[in-house]
Amino acid sequence: MSGSTILESFDNIYLDLSKQPGKCKLAESGLGWRPSGGGDTFTLDSSNIGAAQWSRAAKGFELKILSRSSGVIQLDGFDQEVNYAEHFATIDLRLTTQKDFERLSKAFKIWYGINVETREHALRGWNWGKAEFTKAELAFNVQNRPAFEVPYSEISNTNLAGRNEVAVEFALPTGDGGDAVTKPGSTKNRGRKAAAGPDELVEMRFYIPGTATKKEKTEGEGAEGEEEDNEEGAEEQNAANLFYETLMDKAEIGDVAGDTFATFLDVLHLTPRGRFDIDMYESSFRLRGKTYDYKIQYSAIKKFFLLPKNDDTHTLIVLGLDPPLRQGQTRYPFLVMQLKLDEEISLEMNMTEDILNSQYKDKLQPHYEEPIHQVVTKVFRGLSGKKVIMPSKDFSSHHGHQGVKCSIKANEGLLYFLDKSLMFVPKPATYIQMENIAIVTMSRVGGAVSASRTFDITVSLKGGLGEHQFSNINREEQKSLEDFFKAKSIRIKNEMAEEASGLIAAALDNAAMGSSDDEVRADRGSADEDESSVDEDFAGSSESDVAEEFDSDHESSGDSDEEMGDASGGEGDKQEDEPPKKKSKTSN
């Protein structure tokens, strides 16, 4: 098997969980993989192959290559035994019926000087075991056999979800078939996850109770001597914290490739809630909080808003993200920062003059000394290349503000009117494109007092895609909203005017009905007496008793006291009220 023209070729092989299969070829100089439908070819030089493992996988058998600099390469889809005579006439016929494993192991041994290790996975189905951090991946072992392995290149973030719980987030593919987060040297974006299915594992949680011992390694010492020397000075700490710190270090989550260009400290975020330090890098930025850390690619920023608040003290910077941030089961498609208008900072960009002039000319300045909201906006815009969207000049509220105070259900916020969309912040951040609006309905709900001061608007979307309701808008803002929607040629339905005319008509009808009822009652004669006799136990003897109860000008004649006396079963009160009648009889 010597000579540059001799190849080992395998069809229907999947590279790194790719959706599309391809052809894998091995030669003395290295190996290569090309997708069947066309695309970029992945190659790996023989000098970069560090180790190889053979095991059963999803689509047959998998060859896992641990490279010296590119992490883990997974080749899945190998068969146990196939006849390759019709494909490889140059290969000795004795090899045509050999198993893939034998062909691969021979090629790796002869060409690369590497023995292919056969590994069997744990099949017990246990969800408890031991986590092992290797050079290129996190392995979860059950009874000294791997249940699963996760390459570090697949891990995009990790957080402490609780005292004894660690959440591990996986990289998500973007719409163009690449990945939202790709580490240098990773093979993940080579024919991988293009047109991936709708269901994909995005997070895994490890419950790690108890404490563990952290041993500090000293350079130049052997492994055995190192363990003995560090036993006494070993630091005992929470096991989950140690797992988290080790994974952060191994997966290089905390250390993004390249230098930090700028850092903003202790920035208040309304969504997700908390204070974060912002580290700006060449292709991504990182939010560092007390509990959660996030790493976000600039390519994930789809919208960039600068929205002044109505208090004339703060302004909001809103970033629309796709894929959204994840915190457990909660998704945050928008990142909302709140900055003070009067807070000024001095910032020196941490980049060379050559990089500044070659890559960011007319985009970034070497030095900033301005209000913090302007500096953050300019740095984000320069590094991400996104256009900043601001409120429309066609809208101004009754008090001259650019946002209208309202609420979505129980959450209060501000609704901003932009040139091509509506934006409600901070929670739940809601973005509505005007081209998707079918009609805006203005209405009043609630009691008479609240209805006179506020109103609601309901934005109905085209194609039956639902609606958004914004409540408790000040009545003074009605004209401003109507003028804006008319200027944007958006249909408006004013139910308040219809309701007002309906109330007037109802009031007139009630007045007319009241007068007609009096006439009918006068003509009915003894009909009222017949109806009143239905309840024979009723204590009232005439309509005047009922009228006196609801007449605010009526002076009580003591009938209620008489009823209370009857209820108590005593007749003394009646006798005290009757003497004047007896005196009148005596006088006669």
Instruction: Determine how many CB atoms are found less than 10 A away from the CB of residue 550.
Output: 7
Q: Are 148 and 206 in contact (CB under 8 A)?
A: no
If you compute the radius of gyration of the chain from its CA atoms, what whole number of angstroms results? 39
Total residue length of the chain: 588
Question: What DSSP line would sit under 441-458, residue for residue?
Answer: EEE--S-HHHHHHEEEEE
Q: What is the DSSP string of 13-60?
A: EEETT-SS-EEEEEETTEEEEEETT--PPEEEEGGGEEEEEEEEETTE
Cα 429-430-435 angle, rounded to 5 deg: 155
At 206 the pLDDT is 94
Q: Give the chain's domains with CATH numbers.
A: 8-118 (2.30.29.30), 130-193+200-218+232-250 (2.30.29.220), 262-384 (2.30.29.150), 415-497 (2.30.29.30)
User: Average pLDDT in the 539-545 region?
Assistant: 42
Record the pTM. 0.65
Measuring CA to CA, which residue among 417, 193, 160 is closest to residue 323? 193
pLDDT at 464: 86
Degrees to nearest 5, angle at CA 440 with 437 and 444 = 155
- Percent of the chain at pLDDT > 70 equals 70
Q: What is the mean predicted confidence (pLDDT) over 548-561? A: 41
Judging by beta carbons within 10 Å of its beta carbon (0-12, 13-18, 19+), is residue 523 exposed, middle or buried?
exposed
pLDDT tens digit sequence for 39-91: 889 999 999 999 999 988 888 899 999 888 878 899 999 886 544 444 444 44
- 139-153, 221-235, 323-337, 454-468: which range is least confident on average? 221-235
What's 152-213 look like in SS3? HHHEEEEEEEECCEEEEEECCECCCCCECCCCCCCCCCCCCCCCCCCCCCCEEEEECCCEEE
Cα 274 to Cα 224, 280, 336, 525: the distances in Å are: 45, 18, 11, 76
Mean pLDDT of 355-381: 93
pLDDT band at 254 (very low <50, low <70, confident <90, very high): low
- Number of helices (H) and strands (E) in the chain: give both, helices first: 13, 33
**Residues in CB range of 153: below 8 A, 6 or more apart:** 71, 72, 171, 182, 183, 186, 187, 188
- Two tokens, residue 356: 């500044």
Contact between 10 and 27 (Cβ < 8 Å): no
Residue 523 or residue 411, greater confidence: 411
